[in-house]
Structure 1
Amino acid sequence: MVNVTPQEMPVGSLIAEQAAQPGYFTDCYACVVPGQVSLADYVTAFYTTPLFRAERLVLRLAARAPSTDVQARAVAEGEAERFAVWQVAARRADEMLLAERSGRTKSWFSVAVQGADTKLFFGSVVVPVKGKSGKMVLGPVFDSLKTAHALYSRALLASAARGLAATGVRTAPAPRPGR
């Protein structure tokens, strides 16, 4: 069983930069998996799980945004900048931020090797818009879906972690200093 828990935004991370913006909604979840997992393997596992493939089907039909597992891997590897309705907004060696084409929602992925294990992070960003009152708001639809969003985010992260375990995807252990 995968234990996914809410987390504080890692200091200096791409999602922490988003969380610092006035009115933005951000969340962050994490779980630990055995082995040293690369960001590319994690992002590929995330976007190719059966759960996310269902979302990809909806996006293909509703948003005319087809996508394939090969395209998911290309974005994860840094060989492409677009995948379905997302575009890479920022990338570092251990984290990536993708923005949905409207710019209102973003997905954040990060990996942190911890000895023989890897901590996988997944977070979301929702950018506010100007409401009727002139104030920046997230909107009633998002407000009503916050609980479902949290459950779905946790399920997606757990599914990716299980997928990594099932495929045995692991990078080579990090070299020890002095060797």
Structure 2
Amino acid sequence: MSSIQPCELPDRALLARYAHGGAYADCYTTDMAGIVSHAAYVEAFYSGAVFKLERFLLARLASRPSTDAQVRQLAAGERDTFSAWKVEARTDDQLLMCDLAGRTRSWLMVAQAPGGSGPSSTRLYFGSAVVPVVDKVSGEARMGFLFKALLGFHKLYSRVLLHAARSRLARAARAA
């Protein structure tokens, strides 16, 4: 997974609004040869084997089932909810999802890779944000123990998800 690197959020990233004010935001990127559409990236990300495990858990533990058909609709811009998320913002090259509790965000973006591995290469971005909870007694925004305890796992899982989506896209390109 050395091809997956942490990076700063691009200035125009829809997730950038969460990079300040006490929220946690991260961004990972990888480049791949060829032109990858945003819809293909979204579909590869949410319908890959790794993410399907998360979908399975959400269906069983949170009663939020989802299907590959719903993923295709989300990727095509025909759906604004998916499993435990809703679309918060969308552009031609970005998708920002918010969990139904309003605490986390998931963001996907494609862009032409600068100085990529050929005349047409794509940079895939994946980022997350976690919004702090305001303590009712003190009024302070806090991330909480669970966030701190799971942050290392989250960083590894983010890299695994992006790697899985990239691999899925690469296999599809070779098969075409």
| TM > 0.5 fold call | yes
Consecutive aligned runs of 4 or more in structure 1 exceeding 6 Å deviation: none
2-structure distance, mates of 1:44, 1:167: 12
1-structure distance, mates of 2:66, 2:88: 18
Residue of structure 2 equivalent to 1:166: 171
Residues 102-139 of structure 1: per-residue CA shift (max 9 Å, x gap): 01001000000234110000000101111253310111
Residue correspondence of structure 1 range 95-174 to structure 2 within 5 A? 95-114=94-113, 115-131=119-135, 132-168=137-173
Residue of structure 2 equivalent to 1:40: 39
Question: Match for 2:103: what amino acid?
Answer: R
Q: Please tell me the root mean square deviation across aligned C-alpha atoms, in Å.
A: 1.7
Q: 1:67 to 1:118 in 2, by over 3 A?
A: same
2-structure distance, mates of 1:36, 1:169: 13
Residue of structure 2 equivalent to 1:175: none
Q: 1:150 to 1:162 in 2, by over 3 A?
A: same
Residue of structure 2 equivalent to 1:173: none
Q: Are the counterparts in 2 of residues 31 and 119 from structure 1 also a CA contact under 8 Å?
A: yes
SS at structure 2 position matched to 1:56: helix
Number of residue equivalences? 170
SS at structure 1 position matched to 2:27: strand
Residues 122-166 of structure 1: per-residue CA shift (max 9 Å, x gap): 000101111253310111101111100000000000000000011
Question: Match for 2:3: what amino acid?
Answer: N
1-structure distance, mates of 2:51, 2:156: 14
Q: TM-score, normalised by structure 2?
A: 0.92
How far apart are residue 19 of structure 1 and its match?
1.0
Residue of structure 2 equivalent to 1:91: 90
Question: Match for 1:61: what amino acid?
Answer: R
Q: TM-score, normalised by structure 1?
A: 0.90
Q: Are the counterparts in 2 of residues 44 and 76 from structure 1 also a CA contact under 8 Å?
A: yes
SS at structure 1 position matched to 2:25: strand
